[in-house]
Amino acid sequence: MPQSGTDRENAIRYMEEISLNAWPSHMIELYDGWLIRFSHNYTYRTNSVEQVGPSTIPRDEKISYCEAVYSGFGSPCNFKINPLLDPSFDACLEERGYAIRHVTQVMTADLKKMRLPEPLSVEYEFENRTGLPSALTWDKNCSVLLQSDITDEWIAGLFHLNGTTSPTLRRIVPSMYYAIPKEIIAARVECEGRMVASGLGIRDRDYIGIYAIYVSPGCRRRHYARNVCASLLREASRRGAKRAYLQVVKGNIAARSLYLSLGFEDFYTYWFRSRDTQQKG
């Protein structure tokens, strides 16, 4: 059923709120209704300005302030642009020399309507107090291991999969994951004792967010990403979640095809405007 303009705006606002909860930044400053986020450029979302409340300071003054903050960090200044913002703000940034970066599609799904495969078997560890399965076996070559918290071992495997080698990022990013204030389901697939696929489910109220889906290049086309997603969605539904969401970068055709096949649908698009704070003018 089509949503009215107000209903759609409220749904987007809700989605923006829970996605902020799901991914804390290393540093955050609240400035007149704007969040200035910085995490040594680990992701655009945690290194950008987001508008979360009403403003009283003139717009140009606020933009200049943010540019000065990011210049102090030695970092580009990024602004997140979502459909709730006045289009004139995006145009203003373009006039100031900001380029569009990292266009992202938010996708959502009703868990009851999703086309999820069934695992061959489900295992539980002895005296498991969380009720979370320890492993879901999907075929003879793939068991998805689940845990209810994020461990140093899981993060080390994630860094290997996403290519994080910077000593600074390897020092600060774990604290960002540990700071997630919501219910966690961390997933992994192992091969010969090494993590070759990952996923993270973050439960906030009636939604489960799907994050950190990575597969080792040598292990692709084995349905690992599909099985990780299915494991997270299945367990979230079993625990009471009603809907799911995720964010996929424009141009990632393989990921988008997977998510569509599971039953996700496009909801809205956001992007970032970015400018080097050291540039003149």
Name the residue type at position 195: M
Number of separate helices (H) and strands (E) present in the chain? 7, 13
- Mean pLDDT confidence for 171-197: 95
Question: Rounded to whole angstroms, how far apart are CA atoms 48 and 191?
Answer: 36
- Residue 259 above 70 pLDDT? yes
- Complete domains list, the chain, with CATH: 5-105+270-275 (3.40.630), 109-267 (3.40.630.30)
3-state secondary structure of 8: helix
Calculate helix-pair angle for 167-178, 152-162, nearest 10 degrees. Answer: 130
pLDDT band at 184 (very low <50, low <70, confident <90, very high): very high
Global pTM value: 0.92
- Within 10 Å of residue 94's Cβ, how many Cβ atoms? 12
pLDDT band at 4 (very low <50, low <70, confident <90, very high): low
Quote the pLDDT of residue 148. Answer: 94
pLDDT (tens digit per residue) in 139-167: 888 999 999 999 999 999 999 999 999 99
Quote the pLDDT of residue 279. Answer: 41
The mean of the pLDDT values for the chain is 93
- Residue 75 above 60 pLDDT? yes
- Residue 2 above 70 pLDDT? no
Quote the pLDDT of residue 141. Answer: 83
Q: Minimum mean pLDDT among 2-6, 44-48, 99-103, 130-134: which range?
A: 2-6
Q: What backbone torsions phi and psi does residue 270 show, to the nearest 5 degrees? A: -130, 165
CB 262 within 8 A of CB 230: yes
- Mean pLDDT confidence for 84-105: 96
Rounded to 5 degrees, what angle do the CA atoms 141, 143, 148 make? 165
CB 82 within 8 A of CB 48: no
Q: Minimum mean pLDDT among 110-114, 116-120, 125-129, 228-232: which range?
A: 125-129
Q: What percentage of the chain exceeds 90 in pLDDT? A: 87
- Mean pLDDT confidence for 207-224: 94
Q: What percentage of the chain exceeds 70 in pLDDT? A: 95
